[in-house]
Amino acid sequence: MNYYLTLRYRFSTLRLIAYDSHPRHTSPHLATACDARRRAALRVLACVCRDCDGTWGFGEAREPGGGTRMWATLPRASAAAYGAP
């Protein structure tokens, strides 16, 4: 399985994109179970993004080889204040 990660900072926002070559399941039951497992694994990321007014998600990759793409965005101002007293 292949993975890659990109980080980009533009317009005062950090954007992270992670890609893995694990293809989407053709069985709806398996696809739902796999998505539930991904959501559970990304629970902390979801909480941080919510608290920082960011976004996150995952879905089918647009790359030719298929796979899964996950992204997260964090605005600089709210991320800098995250966890501050």
Q: Summarize the confidence of residues 53-74 as an average pLDDT.
A: 86
Q: How confident is the model at residue 68 (pLDDT cuts 50, 70, 90)?
A: confident
CA distances from 6 to 17, 20, 24, 48, 66 (A): 5, 12, 21, 19, 17
User: Rounded distance, CA 19 to CA 64, Å?
Assistant: 12
Whether the per-residue pLDDT at 38 is higher than 90: the answer is no
Whether the per-residue pLDDT at 22 is higher than 90: the answer is no
Strands 55-60 and 13-20: unpaired
pLDDT at 62: 76
pLDDT at 4: 86
Total Cβ atoms within 10 A of residue 41? 10
Task: Give pTM, 2 decimals.
Answer: 0.78
